[in-house]
Amino acid sequence: RSINGSIEQHLAIARCCSIEPLIERALGLIKPHMHVSLGGGHNVANLARVLAAQPELDLQFGTPSELTEQTGAKLGLTFQPLSQLGHIDVAFDGCDSINPELVALKSNGGIHVFEKLYAINADRYVILAPASRLTPVLNPAVPLAVEVLPLVAPTLERQIVQRGYQVTRRTGERVASFARTPNGNFLLDCHADSWNDIHEFNAWLQSQSGVVATSLFENIVTGLLTFDENNQIQAYRKDL
């Protein structure tokens, strides 16, 4: 069976099984035998469910998310660590805000260190998101999250405030404690009235000792698939 035939077949399966248009478009980017990374979020979880039903594609999977790995295991998917997966053909993920230049904020999940590692090892890094998250300027309601070593957090917080930004140390949702990343670090959520100067602020943050990574994805996203309330799909691509 030809590769093109396989692609046409699984797209036909998507249509006849009433799979949502967003997932159908994402499936069109996947060919048999690819190495695929699945990030976090509702839309990626839906894609995982569809892929789990098509083992004939013979895909190899990786993920930066422990929750996605847990969900995928229940679906029968096997995930390999990045060190074993190696090259990634296409990676799918969500975002909290993105602009037309495909600069994205991926702040709420708090695992942007791992998401960036998988993204930079992928030929294509594609965001799946509601159309409302695409705005001319990044949404100031979404913080710029910073993973930072606990020892330097108090000093960095003072410096951030001195530069005119607000900052809060993220707390755990179910315990009376500060949230910690899988690396054991703190997350600082930085806020501003607007993100017009986010590139300069982000560059300053990344130059500070003790900062592991920020949640701003610059020159990383290569594609975006959005959907509106009518399930109309718009595709955006960054030519590198």
- The pLDDT assigned to 175 comes to 59
Query: Has residue 80 got a pLDDT over 50?
Result: yes
Amino acid at 223: G
* Residue ranges covered by each domain of the chain: 3-133+218-229, 144-214
Please provide residue 238's backbone torsions phi and psi, each rounded to the nearest 5 degrees. Answer: -100, 120
Produce one character per residue of 137-173: b if its CB has 16 or more CB atoms within 10 Å, e if not: ebbbebbbbbbbeeebbeebbeebeeeebebeebeee
Provide the Cα torsion 22, 23, 26, 32; round to 10°.
-160
**Quick one: 144-214 is in which CATH superfamily?**
ACT domain (3.30.70.260)
Cα–Cα distance for residue pair 227/130, rounded to 1 Å:
5
Cα–Cα distance for residue pair 92/125, rounded to 1 Å:
6
Query: Has residue 240 got a pLDDT over 80?
Result: no
Please provide residue 162's backbone torsions phi and psi, each rounded to the nearest 5 degrees. Answer: -60, -25
Rounded average pLDDT over 40-53 = 94
Cα–Cα distance for residue pair 65/16, rounded to 1 Å:
30
Query: Has residue 15 got a pLDDT over 90?
Result: no
Asked if the domains at 3-133+218-229 and 144-214 fall in one CATH topology, the answer is: no
Residue 238: pLDDT band (50, 70, 90) is confident
Q: Are 118 and 106 in contact (CB under 8 A)?
A: no
User: Strand 88-93 vs strand 35-38: parallel, antiparallel, or unpaired?
Assistant: parallel
> What residue spans of the chain are helical by DSSP H?
3-16, 21-27, 42-52, 66-75, 82-85, 112-120, 153-162, 198-206
Q: Using alpha carbons, list the distances in angstroms from residue 124 to 72, 75, 151, 179.
A: 21, 24, 36, 31
> Which has the closest alpha carbon to 183: 151, 211, 149?
149
The better pLDDT of the pair 231, 89 is held by 89
pTM of the model: 0.88
The residue behind tokens 């037309």 is: 100
172 contacts: CB under 8 Å, gap ≥ 6: 178, 179, 180
157 contacts: CB under 8 Å, gap ≥ 6: 167, 169, 188
pLDDT in tens, 172-203: 776 567 888 989 999 999 999 999 999 999 99
Q: Which fold has domain 3-133+218-229?
A: Rossmann fold (3.40.50)
